[in-house]
Amino acid sequence: MAEDCCDVAVVGAGLAGAMAAADLSERGLAVTILDARDRVGGRSYFRRFEGVRGTGSRRETEEELDFGGSWITPWQSTIRALCARHGISLRPRHPVTARRWYRDGGLHHDGPTSAADRASHERAIARIAMDAALLKTGNGKDDKGRTLLNISLADYTQRLQASAATLDLIGAWWTVSGNGDKALVPASEFLHSCAYIDGTPDGIIDAWTDSLIGGVSALAARMIDGCGARLLLNAAVSAIEHDGNAVQLAIAERRTITARAAVIATGLNPMAGLRFWPALPPIQNGAVTRGHAGRAVKLWAKVRGVAPGILATGGGSGIEWMFGERATNDGATLLVGFGVEGEGGGAWMKDAHSAAEQAVTRFFPEAELIAADWHDWNRDPFSRGAWVASRLGAESDISHQTWKRQGRLAFASSDISPEGAGWFDAAAISGASAALEIMELLRMN
């Protein structure tokens, strides 16, 4: 069996792994990064738009897009500092110039509800804003003493006594916040997102001010290239054996990497594909067995006849959120859309073109759909889901405290970050935190 050695092995070449590797390399440690994919970036995936047309034909175009996460907020200082350091420019998000709502069986331009439902809608939105503000200040109960934490979105929306149109609006924003089964994911995922700006669902988009030109993939690549760590792609780790002296990682072709310590930077769900020996402690093993519940779908549609800047929501199924994100050089517009798939059965997303066709017909009937494209994160064996969403009753699964260093293993991911879980900024913070844990360990030895 072929074997080689290093000081620290980092499993996962996403931003968390890149950050951990960079910090450890700067301390003079020999670092090897292993990733199962043929690329770096993890749940960032920046590539050319390969438009699928109605005929099933596929053609690569000049547009390059984020097929994973993309937006960052004004206050995310860690990733902004990394971009400045590594020469990554930012692209401002197109402002919202118009609003559309699909409700009551049709497309509307005049508001989220009918006149008859407007008063109840405004009460529900005010309630959401109040609850979001309470949660932001650390209050786990509303002004009536009802919990804001141990309640699913499904049960929370029943409490609102809102109209079907209001529920459609909430469901659309859920696709970009809670991104999982409404009965399994806490309402707090939605409320925390509302709290970023003014407490309302529509305010969520105002937090997304910029994306990275070249994507987080480009940032991770520059960080890895610049730190001198050895990068092994197409190197899926199958088993991790750890004891008081070393860590051994088994990869393909009977090859092993032996390290003094390791950072597991795969994210929560992919750890289900790793065999740890000895097994992780019960609290961590249980979290891996359950996994997080994030199941968002993101797709891009290239259309003609629609101006950038239009935001459309609603419908209750399929792609429920769509935005004219930018214009192309040939005069078309790129729409980004989001929906949520269920776990196990009930998956509705079969192919990009049919899903985009349904969504464009729903939200932009005047448009001509040219092509659509996506990446299936839910069936990707190296992600097994979208961004993190906690499970009701198992919120500690993604707690940073749950994922403190175990012997010679540290853990890093936006899923389990000390702050801002789910964001790329959180991935960088988590990677730096794991690097510190490893440096403390190696100083003690």
Q: What is the dihedral of CA 102, 107, 110, 111, to 10 degrees?
A: -10
Q: Are residues 305 and 335 in the same domain?
A: yes
Report how far residue 158's alpha carbon sits from residue 155's, in angstroms, rounded to the nearest whole number: 5
pLDDT higher than threshold 80 for residue 293: yes
For residue 102, tell me if it sits in a domain.
no
Q: Which two tokens stand for residue 129?
A: 């804003």
pLDDT value for 344: 60
* CA–CA distance, 128 with 157 (Å, rounded to integer): 10
Residue 62 has pLDDT above 80, yes or no: no
Q: Are 230 and 245 members of one domain?
A: yes
Report d(CA 114, CA 112) in Å as an integer. 7
Residues 280, 300 within the same domain: no
Greater model confidence, 347 or 265: 265
Q: How far apart are CA 433 and CA 439, in angstroms?
A: 10
413 and 287, same domain (yes or no): yes
What does the block give as tokens for 156?
């929370």
Using 50, 70 and 90 to split pLDDT, how confident is the model at 370? very high
Residue 109 in any domain: the answer is no
197 lies in the same domain as 124:
yes
* pLDDT of 159 higher than 70: yes
Which helix (H) or strand (E) segment is 210 a member of? Answer: strand 210-212
pLDDT digits (tens, 9 = 90+) for 297-340: 999 999 999 999 999 999 999 999 999 999 999 999 999 999 99
Q: Where are the beta strands (DSSP E) in 341-403?
A: 368-374
Q: Are 304 and 367 in contact (CB under 8 A)?
A: yes
Lowest mean pLDDT among 56-60, 63-67, 170-174, 217-221: 56-60
Q: How far apart are CA 79 and CA 427, in angstroms?
A: 9
> Quick check: 345 pLDDT over 70?
no
252 located within any domain: yes
Q: Are residues 288 and 391 in the same domain?
A: yes
The tokens describing 59, both together, are 């053609």
Q: Say yes or no: 90 and 150 in one domain.
A: no
pLDDT in tens, 24-50: 999 999 999 999 999 999 999 999 999
Mean pLDDT value across residues 71-97: 98
Residue 330 CA to residue 348 CA, distance in Å, equals 32
Does residue 106 lie within any of the structural domains? Answer: no
Query: What was the pLDDT predicted at 414?
Result: 98
| Total domains present in the chain | 3
In the predicted structure, residue 2 carries a pLDDT above the cut 60: no
Strand, coil or helix: 274: coil
pLDDT of residue 56: 58
Mean pLDDT within 92-120 = 97
Question: Phi/psi at 354 (nearest 5 deg)?
Answer: -65, -40
The pLDDT of residue 135 is 97
Domain boundary residue, one of 203, 229, 245 = 203
Is 105 within the bounds of a domain? Answer: no
With bands split at pLDDT 50, 70 and 90, how would you rate the model's confidence at 107?
very high
The pLDDT > 90 percentage for the chain reads 93
| 222/229 Cα distance (integer angstroms) | 11
Residue owning tokens 């072929």: 2
With respect to residue 104, please indicate whether it lies within any of the assigned structural domains.
no
Q: Give the pLDDT band (50/70/90) at residue 60.
A: low
pLDDT(87) > 90: yes
What pLDDT does 51 receive? Answer: 84
pLDDT higher at 349 or 414: 414
Instruction: Return the residue matching tokens 């899923």.
Output: 415
- Looking at the structure, tell me whether residues 269 and 321 fall in a common domain: no
Neighbours of 122 (CB within 10 A): 13
For residue 409, which amino acid is it? L
**Average pLDDT value for the chain:** 95
pLDDT for 58 beyond 90: no
pTM: 0.95
- Last residue of a domain, which of 357, 374, 391? 374
Domain residues for the domain of 56 are 47-96+208-213+295-374
Among 346, 374, 402, the domain-final residue is: 374
Q: What's residue 241's pLDDT?
A: 97
CA trace torsion 46, 391, 125, 386 (10° rounding) = 10
pLDDT on residue 225: 98
286 and 394 together in one domain: yes
